[in-house]
Amino acid sequence: MPVPAQLREAIREEYARSEALLEEERFAQAAEVLGEIIEPAALAVAYARITGPT
Mean pLDDT of 35-48: 86
- Listed residue (40, 53, 43) closest to 11, CA to CA: 40
* Residue 25, phi then psi, degrees to nearest 5: 60, 35
Mean pLDDT of 11-20: 93
Instruction: Report the interhelical angle of 27-51 vs 5-23 (nearest 10°).
Output: 160
Predicted TM-score (pTM) of this structure: 0.70
Instruction: Supply the pLDDT for residue 37.
Output: 87
